[in-house]
Amino acid sequence: MSTKVSTEKRSTAQEPLSTSATPAMSPPPDGGFHAWSTVAGCWMALFVQFGLCNSFGVFQAYYESDLLKDHSSSSITWIGTLQLFLLFFGGIFVGRILDSHGAHILMVPGSVLIVFGLMMTSLCKQYWQLILAQGIVFGIGCSMTFNPSVSLPGQWFSKKRGIATAIAMSGSGIGGVVWPIIIRELFAKVGFPWGTRAVAFTSLGLLALSNALIKKRAPKREPLPWIQVIKFCGELRFTLTVLSIAFTLFGFLIPFYYISVNALALGSSTSIAFYCLSFTNAGSSIGRLVSGFIPISPFLVIFSASLLSGIFQLAMWTTLNNIASLIAFGIIYGLFSGVWLSAIPLCVASLSKLPEIGSRLGLTFGLSSIFALVGAPIAGAIVDAHEGLIGFRLAAVFAGIMMLVGSLFSIIVWYMKKGEK
């Protein structure tokens, strides 16, 4: 009995608001049907929305060769980076709602917006239409589903939090493997409009199942006051973590967006160019799953992963000159970048009290979003400004250096946390 009482006291002490109107959240059960069904639901949601975001390279290559062939590579990239910007930036607002009202108030309308955005994309014929449908509408829907999907495993698991989060995050990597193949085949057989509609109908079914599997755990509470959310930025470790993620995001997306275009520049067939992205996402899905089983500090994980991702861009992408080496680079880069992405929620959770995880994670992604928005278009401008393979190599230098800078901030946080023990 005394153990139970002391546990309840510790749980209550973790609450950021101690009023009677704010119910305490009990410690995570670390298992059970509802916990694992929630992980499965998060996996499906990430398979759809982040998997499709990871597959934008297929759309990029198609738009450059067909629908938007009169537009530059850099301008087309803005469609994809706008998705990611809204996905991450929306976390500032989505995180507070998640912590106070649960997931379904976000994920149901978010799922509707994803499907609607895809349906509208299938009707687009001009650049501005794609910006609105595939960039803005789809991006807002992604934000409303992504942030709950990466935060909810942390509410259900404590000791197994890394494994549960990694399993959920692997959905985005596997989606990035499967979707490019499906989209490529659909575009070839039924064309862009009906191919995109088929993707929308498939997404509708998966997202409906995802919403049915996800279970609410946190009690309703008043959302954290904005002043308290802003105060998180006054914590040095949290600020350095945000800087680490932001600079790494500067270079993170560039290989995913340009590996297919790079393959075409190397003289590959269109089908091989599309499959290059699937190979990269295959490596990423393995990395995202493996991340949760690495028995070291999550800050050491993101340091090592961003460091190696940057090194391989600088040492390998800048020197390759054939399709085989490009595929090998894609798999290796995908592996380490996938480990990095899956470790982010664990890093933020390790700095957070239980009811704050959603708010802190959303704020982290929101503050980093501007880097996700501009990184790939900058690389696109570099590619457009140079003939042949030189542009891709210079883009790799830019991306690699940004990821190395991001790794430095994460190792500083690790040293700070290590010094407190």
pLDDT digits (tens, 9 = 90+) for 25-80: 667 777 788 889 999 999 999 999 988 988 887 888 889 888 888 888 888 888 98
Distance CA 402, CA 118 (A): 32
Structure confidence at residue 7 (pLDDT): 39
Is the residue at 3 inside a domain?
no
Structure-model confidence comparison of residues 245 and 289, the more confident one: 245
Is the residue at 1 inside a domain?
no
Structure-model confidence comparison of residues 196 and 150, the more confident one: 196
Q: Which residue has the tokens 């990821």?
A: 403
Is the predicted pLDDT of residue 281 greater than 90, yes or no?
no
Q: Judge whether 80 and 377 are in contact, CB under 8 Å.
A: no
Q: Judge whether 311 and 333 are in contact, CB under 8 Å.
A: no
Structure confidence at residue 20 (pLDDT): 37
**What is the average per-residue pLDDT within 5-17?**
38
Among candidates 67, 382, 397, 408, which has minimal Cα distance to 245? 408
Neighbours of 323 (CB within 10 A): 17
**What is the average per-residue pLDDT within 204-220?**
86
Is the predicted pLDDT of residue 8 greater than 70, yes or no?
no
CA quadruple 14, 19, 20, 23: dihedral, nearest 10 = -40
Is the predicted pLDDT of residue 88 greater than 90, yes or no?
no
17: confidence class by pLDDT, cuts 50, 70, 90:
very low
115: confidence class by pLDDT, cuts 50, 70, 90:
very high
Is the predicted pLDDT of residue 18 greater than 70, yes or no?
no
**What is the average per-residue pLDDT within 145-166?**
82
Lowest mean pLDDT across 122-126, 287-291, 405-409: 287-291
Distance CA 209, CA 37 (A): 11
CATH number of domain containing 39 = 1.20.1250.20
Structure confidence at residue 132 (pLDDT): 95
Quick one: angle between helices 298-312 and 390-420, nearest 10? Answer: 160
Q: Judge whether 193 and 71 are in contact, CB under 8 Å.
A: no
Q: What percent of the chain has pLDDT over 70?
A: 91
Structure-model confidence comparison of residues 242 and 342, the more confident one: 242
Is the predicted pLDDT of residue 291 greater than 60, yes or no?
yes
Lowest mean pLDDT across 20-24, 77-81, 347-351, 408-412: 20-24
**What is the average per-residue pLDDT within 17-32?**
58
Distance CA 282, CA 284 (A): 5
Distance CA 124, CA 231 (A): 43
Among candidates 180, 169, 187, 188, which has minimal Cα distance to 278? 180
Tally of domains within the chain: 1
Is the residue at 6 inside a domain?
no
Is the residue at 20 inside a domain?
no
**What is the average per-residue pLDDT within 85-99?**
80
Structure-model confidence comparison of residues 293 and 39, the more confident one: 39
Is the predicted pLDDT of residue 406 greater than 70, yes or no?
yes
231: confidence class by pLDDT, cuts 50, 70, 90:
confident
Is the residue at 405 inside a domain?
yes
What are the phi and psi torsion angles at 230 (to 5°)?
Answer: -65, -35
Q: Judge whether 274 and 65 are in contact, CB under 8 Å.
A: no
Provide the mean pLDDT of the chain: 84
191: left (phi > 0), else alpha (psi -120 to 50), else beta? left
Distance CA 272, CA 279 (A): 10
Residues 6+ apart with CB under 8 A from 195: 122, 183, 186, 187, 189
Structure-model confidence comparison of residues 299 and 421, the more confident one: 299
Q: Which SS3 state, helix, strand or coil, does residue 387 take?
A: coil
Q: Which residue has the tokens 């509708």?
A: 204
411: confidence class by pLDDT, cuts 50, 70, 90:
very high
Tell me the residue range of the domain where 321 lies.
Answer: 32-215+224-420
219: confidence class by pLDDT, cuts 50, 70, 90:
low
Is the residue at 21 inside a domain?
no
Q: Dump pLDDT digits (tens) for 263-276.
A: 988 988 877 887 88
The 8 Å CB, 24+ separation contacts for 218-222 are 218/25, 218/99, 218/102, 218/155, 218/355, 219/23, 219/25, 220/23, 220/100, 220/101, 220/102, 221/17, 221/21, 221/22, 221/23, 221/99, 221/100, 221/355, 222/17, 222/21, 222/22, 222/100
**What is the average per-residue pLDDT within 347-366?**
78
Q: What percent of the chain has pLDDT over 90?
A: 36
Lowest mean pLDDT across 111-120, 212-221, 370-379: 212-221
Helices (H) and strands (E) in the chain, counts: 17, 0
Is the residue at 312 inside a domain?
yes
Lowest mean pLDDT across 2-11, 34-43, 112-121, 329-338: 2-11
**What is the average per-residue pLDDT within 153-179?**
83
420: confidence class by pLDDT, cuts 50, 70, 90:
low
Highest mean pLDDT among 67-71, 274-278, 336-340, 355-359: 336-340
